[in-house]
Structure 1
Amino acid sequence: MTTTNRSLLSLCSVLALATAAVAVEYVVSPVGDDAAAGSAAAPWRTLSHAATVMQPGDRCLIRGGTYCESVVLKEIAGTAEKPIRFAAWPGETPVFSGCDVVAGWERVEGDIWKHRCEWSLGDFNQMLINGRPGVEARWPNKNNDDLLDWEGQAFKACKQDDALVCPELPERPDGYWQGAVLWVMGGAKWTSWSVVVENYDAATKTLSFPNAGKNTRNGWRFMGLTRPQGGYFYLKGGKAEIDAPGEWFYDEAEKTLYLQVPAGADANALTIEFQRRRSALTLERCRHVQISGLHILAATVNILNSEDCLLQGLRVLHQGNLRGGNTSYGLGASLGSRLGGERNILRDSEIACCAGDGVSVSGTRNSIINCWIHDTDYTGSYDTPIRLAGQEHLVSHCSLHDTGRDCMLPGGQAHIIQYNDISRMGRICHDLGATYVCASDGGGTEFRFNWCHDNAAHGTRMGIYLDNFTSNYFVYRNVVWNINGCDIRLNRPGQNNHVINNSMLGKAGNWGRWPSDWLYHCSYVNNAVIGVIADHYNAIFVANRYNIPKEQLNSDTFMDFQAGQGEGLVVPGITGDKPGLGAYEPGDTWRAGHDFTKSPQPEYRLADTPLRNLVAHGSFQWSRYHGKLGPWVPTGAKTAKIIWGPGGITECYTTRDTIVGAGLELAGDEPSGVEQELPALRSNQDYEYIIWLKLIDGAKLDIALYEDGKLVAEAAEDRADGVWRQLFLRYRSSNAPGAHRIAINKSGAGKAFVDDVSFAGMVKGMEPRLPGQVPVAPPPPKRPPLPRRTAPLLVQRLSEGYPAAAELVQENPDRSKADGEPARAWLAHHDGVLRVKIEIPLSKAPQLDGQNQWTKTDGVELCFADADNNAQHPTFILHGFPDGAYESSTEAGAPASTAAKLATAASFRATVNANGWTAEWTVPLTVVAIPTADGTDIRFNIGVFRREKRQWLQWAGTGAQTWRVDQAAIIRLE
């Protein structure tokens, strides 16, 4: 009996403890009351109140309806086993809105109404009309709902960089546009810029802003205003510009909203909302909090300085708008959602329709998984669907598409970007990629198993784009198509960038500004390419297959293209034992992009490859170290410090004391240096330890490698001539490697400058090609450029023949005068046909060997596009050769079907003589939908390649390819 009583007592105690630990479920409703019990029958009103009550393991269900509150949850903490959860009531949709409904409108006149409104977000104001964004009063009017279609007004090259002249501006009095915001996309169109207009001259139709550049917060302004290609713009004005349905304006002085509704409509019969809060939901310094199933309207959702939190199943629309007035490369404001802290996750969510970023990620080991992010950056800036900073983030199984510029900016280190479907980048800007990094140390970031396709930009187009001065990236198992430019681009200089087992349905290449630019320990290995990969003197090319027929590899067949099994080079950690060529191996069925019907469970796991650079902070600009030495330990006199070199990627490294950005300076008369412990080395592995250095005033420098405290290898440099050069040593690890440490030591007087330190393994068959750089002195002064062709060339209407005066084709791409006798060109037009004749002088007759290839054999090219800046038009290219053969190229993005029609409709004739040859084209412009009326402007350029001198001439130097007609000149049909 005693035993029974004790057992019952024990059971009661256990039940009591269990009851005390049971999680509690609360309910919140838009019609609730925070003074109620928080139950389904008596719900609370706000999440903020619920958060003050909830304990680890509790759940709050959120009833459907609209919540007009800005929720900030601070220092709320669950545990890994018992997270605090906020979730939508099953089958219902709670909407957290940054807007308040505006009701009680008064008619002003006709279809224009007004409403007294006591709140304003200033530059961030936004109006929604029946759930769709209105348009802040502007000229010219916007006639469609596509946020990424500016519908701007074209302008021609201006004479000064602080005034825009446009004869098409409407008749308005002097000073009318003062205070309006001018948005411009001009010149090379890398990015937009905006400025507040300071004055308007009605007689000359001139918008001026002479003082705006003095106070800019965003760097270079007014790009392209004086460039010959002009651009397009629009103006956000005052309430007097309200003249179309959906246009609105907030008068700050009157505290009044003005709106034009559709003809005959009653504003009070519409649902009109005006943004009042910029953030709907923020987790700040929280741990193990989970939020799911919410819709966010006209506001952001943010995780800041938090750990192990989850956002799932969200729909975030119209999260940020911007009036502008002080923008260039950056918008100067964060408009998108933010994910910061450590180990936080955003997944299974949609983010769409934002003027800036979709989501920006910082901190460490955060993840974006299975998300659909689209229609971002409708300002045309350097904002993007996903922006990464920090380290070790995972972006997996996402669909990113339709954005003003790039679809991803993966700054920071050691990220994994995988299984993403990335497309329709470049809806507004030019010269960009699906992903884009520049002057960046990726710290081993991996782009893998992605689809990148359909670059919508005009001008230079890339897929995966590693721009100048970029290092430590892996690009493997990706498929890239319909880029109409360069599928995977490694710009120079670069280091430790590896492109392995990708399928490229176009071509790949590199570009740099200086002949000595290196691609040291950069490789293209096991790639399948429809075109070719451009060569470089010290990049590594192994087991790539070029010129694959399109019938075998195209956008319909790339998953089935599994060629060359066993022909590829084995790259440990990246390929299997018998690799093939391209992205897919036999048995692979992987797909990219989001799928809300499935929930992938990816893990953060970097490839275990010896190619990885083991040096942390080797570029001295990892942001986590905030400009400090971080893992580098100063030694000797301890004079080591981080410095920043002036200029960016357009200035040569010979002009500064860093390769780019940050670097290391060692100074003083006493020996001084730095050292760093390395991660564990692989057994029996060949490694290379390299630095870039510059010595002055008698300084000497050596690098050393220690194992278990013992010196095992060293190298030295004593040429203190102020020239950047590479210092390296090679080392093979033992069967059982010990603890390794690298050191950099300066001795002697003077200074030593160090940058881009690397300690990476070498794979047999893809060893670095030495030297990394032939040391060069600072380049001699450039030849002075020839004057730009700012005025259109008038093309006469002639039924036959040509005008007497010839145009000289004599410019190098940098606009300097080329050596030798120039080529000469004549232009005329008649009945919709453009005629061009070009005489190319040579020292002897051109070779006719039947192997025609542009920039390899003698040839001429015509490049042209409609100059209407109010829309994007393709650029067409025609190549002609001395044997009479010609071709129509899609290199500049012309649709293949239209290019084929042009090839059929155009005609070409070549005449060879003892001292050169003559080329003559007839081009029916209507075939490519270019108007032929008098006064039609056409972007135009001529290119000539002279094989005997390997000389590339342009009629108008573009600084790049001849087909960059937006940087060339204009012809006008008379």
Structure 2
Amino acid sequence: MNRFLKLVMYKKSKLSSFLLLSLAFLSALPAFAQTTIYVSLNGDDANSGTRRKPFATIKHAVLAARSVSGPVSIKLYGGTYYLSEPLVFTSSDSRKKDQPLVISNFENEKAVVSGAAPLRNLEWKQGEQGIWESKVSKNLIFDQLIVNGTLQRMARYPNYDTSARFLGGTAADAVSAKTASKWKSPKGAYVHALHRAEWGDIHYTVTGKSSDGELALEGGWQNNRRGPMHPQHRFIENIFEELDHENEWFYDRDAEKLYFIPPSNIDIKKATFESPQIAHLIKFQGSEQSPVENIHIKNLTLSGTTRTFMENKEPLLRSDWTIYRGGGVVFDGATGCILQNCTLTNLGGNAVFFNNFNRACTVSGCLIYNIGASGVSFVGDPAAVRSPSFEYNEFIPLADIDRTPGPKSNNFPADCNVYDNLLFNLGYVEKQSAGIELSMCQAINVSHNTIYDVPRAGINVSEGTWGGHVIEHNDVFDTVKESGDHGSFNSWGRDRYWHPDKKTLDSIVATNFDLALLDVVKPITLRNNRFRCDHGWDIDLDDGSSNYLIYENLCLNGGIKLREGVKRTVENNIMINNSFHPHVWFDNSGDVFRHNIVTMAYKPINIRVWGTQVDFNVLPDSLSLREAQSRGTDKNSVAGNPLFVNPSVGDFRVKDGSIALAAGFKNFAMDSFGVVSPHLKRLAKKVVISEVIELSQTGESETASFMGAKVKNLSTLGERSATGMDAIRGVLVVSTSSASTHRNALLANDVILKFGGYNTNTVRDLMEARIAIIGTKAEIVVFRNQQEMKITVELDGKR
């Protein structure tokens, strides 16, 4: 050994200091034991990496681990580890399956990995109108500002409004020349807007202002169905003159000054200020031929990445999406790698992104919130797709379509798991986003996740390539909050067979049925989920979605929509206060809808042939059943109250003796939705369970309950005379309850003529109108004291 050390000393000028440290570190390790390497903010990369002499950087510990065989654990002492560049794992870091590299916190200490730069030694001076300023001399990116762990807002117009549904407040004149006339130099500002049709969002950079005062904009590419910005829903940020509200900030790059209006609960001279600098924190960077294997990231907090909305340009086949292939954690060419029990927050783009080839990787037990774009995304290589098209109106001529089933290569994510994660407050920048996004991937298992407070879908499947997903036991609600025409679960099926012209598409499926299944080669399963969407459908299978098995799902508000597609089986689901929405089916769809409970009549649009079977269902009343049977469906279906066990607490199993059981419905568990980890369960918000509206055929003298009142059809001359109505029509308020939150809105002897813009000639009309309302308020037209009057009421979700 002495001879060897002498040789090392002789040649040390030719060896790296890292190799010397590795040799010293290895000499201190016991044989055949798990190796633990320690990292501390008070450490030194010249140390040996032991508990008493830890390294200072994670990167150095990872490099040291390469020289160690057997399982390795890197432990981070508490504190914030600021990265100036992403931590990158390559195939050189790969481990055997039973000997992983595990990076985690030390004991119960909180270890934060941040892509931000701390702003130290700020010398704040208070100016006019509550604005403080400080010199920041470093050449830093100022894309976001984090104060005491909370994101602040760029100075914006209009000001942020917590009550606004879209974008935190919008104004039609946000980009007008008149508004811009107040701004000396708007170059570098950002315009954020909804797509004209509310299909997500689009963004622009302001490059200057013309001589006539018009803003020059660059961007608008963030939606794959291109269109102008919404005429009303837009705002502009990063404008100095709009710095007029607490929590707002502005950075003057030329003057190197940061301006900020702190809220009253912040001591600006003691607060911690950070500015995100990098877009990615951790990257697994390998390939199918040389993957990164068996690296586990556990129990860390990951925070502080830049926004990426202007880099979101790549179209995802014919879905409505474009994508930026990146995120806080990027899996690219990984197998057996795990992200577990981590907190991901204050990330400006995607939180987790699986890019191209990945196999058997897992995201589990994570808390993911305050994310600029999507939570967890899986996106494969479009070069692996046969006969791909990239925009809604593109198509491949029938004679030119590749008829080989499945993908061309393995360059896509498959056999991965997203399990037991709590995701909320997502898409605070990018509205065309999702809790979990699946595109050009296969056999992704999405289970026991709780997802809420998202601008669009909770779970989105962008196209059929290549199916095999199992989506089960998730709890998804408060979705489609800042967009339209969507669902808590959404899918498109604009695969290689699809054509934007419906007549042409009908003829393709009529003569080449198998084409519809060439990409979605394995069925996609939705089972045992709970969905609630108050601004769309609970389950929305849009354009061409095919090869689905949908069973034992509890749909709390928006029902199930199936647009054209083939080979869908919808069985043993419950739709509360809504129904089944079949739209423009193919004549030979092969669809099946059976053993389901609906609480409204079906809502078909342009259905000529009702699939293979629509039968053995439970409809709300005999009128709904007669309507269905008149169309040739539901010969063996039943109508009436299904007798739910305890709907007020969300137990929608049916009681013994229910007509649903006679129709073949089978009870399923009502307590297995969402996260399973105790700490995530404690944190998760609870879904609103609405009162079930019964659409029984109320007779002329029968009353029904509505918003705390008793109502009935206005049906007699005496009632007409007592109310002063011009005819026997409308819904009479018989009595109200003093305990009702709406006791001052509806009065006894009122006649309800309209609800939310819908005419209400009967109680049934009124109930269906209430179900159809999207939003938190509704306008009621009542006839009171011999005149019509309008009343606005708050909708509390309880109906």
Please name the residue that 1:432 is paired with.
486
Please name the residue that 1:462 is paired with.
537
* 1:132 equivalent in alignment to 2:157: no
Q: CA 1:888 to 1:561, structure 2 compared with 1: closer, same or farther past 3 Å?
A: closer
* Paired residue secondary structure (1:463): strand
Please name the residue that 1:307 is paired with.
335
Q: Is the 8 A contact 2:643 2:655 kept in 1?
A: no
Q: CA 1:179 to 1:419, structure 2 compared with 1: closer, same or farther past 3 Å?
A: same
Corresponding residue to 2:120 among 103, 122, 147:
103
Shift of 1:542: 2.2
User: AA paired with 2:773?
Assistant: G
In terms of fraction of residues, the more helix-rich structure is 2
User: AA paired with 1:365?
Assistant: D
Please name the residue that 1:962 is paired with.
none
Q: CA 1:154 to 1:202, structure 2 compared with 1: closer, same or farther past 3 Å?
A: farther
* Paired residue secondary structure (1:560): strand
* 1:502 equivalent in alignment to 2:573: yes
1:556-594 Cα distance to aligned partner (Å, 9 max, x none): 3534326679987xxxxxxxxx99415x24xx4641101
* Paired residue secondary structure (1:267): coil
User: AA paired with 1:37?
Assistant: S
Q: CA 1:380 to 1:91, structure 2 compared with 1: closer, same or farther past 3 Å?
A: closer
* 1:318 equivalent in alignment to 2:318: no
Shift of 1:180: 3.2
Q: CA 1:525 to 1:512, structure 2 compared with 1: closer, same or farther past 3 Å?
A: closer
User: Partners in 1 of 2:116 and 2:766 — Cα distance?
Assistant: 60
How do 1:550-565 residues align onto structure 2 when only pairs under 5 Å count? 552=644, 554=647, 556-561=649-654
1:855-888 Cα distance to aligned partner (Å, 9 max, x none): xxxxxx9878xxxxxxxxxx4422337x999767
Please name the residue that 2:616 is paired with.
543
User: AA paired with 2:598?
Assistant: V
Shift of 1:410: 2.2
Corresponding residue to 1:348 among 352, 355, 365:
365
Please name the residue that 1:24 is paired with.
35
User: AA paired with 1:33?
Assistant: D
User: Partners in 1 of 2:242 and 2:341 — Cα distance?
Assistant: 40
Q: CA 1:373 to 1:147, structure 2 compared with 1: closer, same or farther past 3 Å?
A: farther
How do 1:641-660 residues align onto structure 2 when only pairs under 5 Å count? none
User: AA paired with 1:222?
Assistant: P
How do 1:146-185 residues align onto structure 2 when only pairs under 5 Å count? 150-155=167-172, 169=179, 172-173=181-182, 177=186, 180-185=189-194
Corresponding residue to 1:293 among 279, 299, 313:
299
Q: CA 1:152 to 1:597, structure 2 compared with 1: closer, same or farther past 3 Å?
A: closer
Please name the residue that 1:682 is paired with.
none
* Paired residue secondary structure (2:62): helix
User: Partners in 1 of 2:119 and 2:765 — Cα distance?
Assistant: 67
Please name the residue that 1:595 is paired with.
676
User: AA paired with 2:297?
Assistant: I
Corresponding residue to 1:73 among 74, 89, 104:
89
Shift of 1:358: 1.1
Please name the residue that 2:593 is paired with.
524
User: Partners in 1 of 2:452 and 2:783 — Cα distance?
Assistant: 36
1:525-562 Cα distance to aligned partner (Å, 9 max, x none): 11111123345423220211111538637453534326
Q: CA 1:393 to 1:252, structure 2 compared with 1: closer, same or farther past 3 Å?
A: same
Figure out how many residues of one structure are paired with residues of the other and give that number.
580
Q: CA 1:101 to 1:148, structure 2 compared with 1: closer, same or farther past 3 Å?
A: farther
* 1:90 equivalent in alignment to 2:107: yes
Q: Is the 8 A contact 1:530 1:550 kept in 2?
A: no
Q: Is the 8 A contact 1:481 1:555 kept in 2?
A: no
Shift of 1:488: 0.8
User: AA paired with 2:487?
Assistant: G
* Paired residue secondary structure (1:303): strand
User: AA paired with 2:202?
Assistant: W
Q: CA 1:108 to 1:879, structure 2 compared with 1: closer, same or farther past 3 Å?
A: same
Please name the residue that 2:249 is paired with.
248
* Paired residue secondary structure (2:47): coil
1:417-454 Cα distance to aligned partner (Å, 9 max, x none): 1100000002211211001112346431111110001x
Corresponding residue to 1:446 among 506, 510, 525:
525
1:681-739 Cα distance to aligned partner (Å, 9 max, x none): xxxxxxxxxxxxxxxxxxxxxxxxxxxxxxxxxxxxxxxxxxxxxxxxxxxxxxxxxxx
Q: Is the 8 A contact 1:339 1:366 kept in 2?
A: no
Q: CA 1:469 to 1:20, structure 2 compared with 1: closer, same or farther past 3 Å?
A: same
Corresponding residue to 2:77 among 63, 72, 81:
63
User: Partners in 1 of 2:582 and 2:229 — Cα distance?
Assistant: 22
Please name the residue that 1:369 is paired with.
419
Shift of 1:46: 1.7
User: AA paired with 2:590?
Assistant: H
1:210-266 Cα distance to aligned partner (Å, 9 max, x none): 8867x88855131443xxxxx332211322322222212233444543323347976
User: Partners in 1 of 2:671 and 2:767 — Cα distance?
Assistant: 37
User: Partners in 1 of 2:39 and 2:438 — Cα distance?
Assistant: 34
User: Partners in 1 of 2:371 and 2:63 — Cα distance?
Assistant: 32
Q: CA 1:187 to 1:349, structure 2 compared with 1: closer, same or farther past 3 Å?
A: same
Please name the residue that 2:793 is paired with.
928
User: Partners in 1 of 2:492 and 2:556 — Cα distance?
Assistant: 22
How do 1:717-756 residues align onto structure 2 when only pairs under 5 Å count? none
User: Partners in 2 of 1:147 and 1:335 — Cα distance?
Assistant: 24
How do 1:881-892 residues align onto structure 2 when only pairs under 5 Å count? 889-892=769-772
User: Partners in 2 of 1:176 and 1:223 — Cα distance?
Assistant: 23
RMSD: 4.0
Q: For structure 1, which runs of at least 5 residues remain unmatched after alignment?
A: 1-17, 157-162, 226-230, 321-333, 569-577, 601-834, 840-860, 865-874, 909-920, 931-974
* Paired residue secondary structure (1:494): coil
User: Partners in 1 of 2:139 and 2:527 — Cα distance?
Assistant: 47
User: AA paired with 2:201?
Assistant: S
User: Partners in 2 of 1:538 and 1:287 — Cα distance?
Assistant: 49
Corresponding residue to 2:350 among 325, 330, 335:
335
User: Partners in 1 of 2:341 and 2:663 — Cα distance?
Assistant: 38
Q: CA 1:538 to 1:93, structure 2 compared with 1: closer, same or farther past 3 Å?
A: same
Residue identity over aligned pairs, in percent, reads: 19
Q: CA 1:172 to 1:499, structure 2 compared with 1: closer, same or farther past 3 Å?
A: same
User: AA paired with 1:190?
Assistant: W
User: AA paired with 2:654?
Assistant: F
User: AA paired with 2:417?
Assistant: S
Shift of 1:53: 2.3
Please name the residue that 1:37 is paired with.
48
In terms of fraction of residues, the more strand-rich structure is 1
Provide the TM-score with structure 1 as the length reference: 0.54
Q: CA 1:315 to 1:464, structure 2 compared with 1: closer, same or farther past 3 Å?
A: same
User: Partners in 1 of 2:300 and 2:583 — Cα distance?
Assistant: 47
User: AA paired with 1:360?
Assistant: S
Q: Is the 8 A contact 1:373 1:401 kept in 2?
A: yes
User: AA paired with 1:364?
Assistant: A
Q: CA 1:476 to 1:207, structure 2 compared with 1: closer, same or farther past 3 Å?
A: farther
Q: CA 1:579 to 1:117, structure 2 compared with 1: closer, same or farther past 3 Å?
A: farther
* 1:423 equivalent in alignment to 2:423: no
User: Partners in 1 of 2:643 and 2:30 — Cα distance?
Assistant: 68
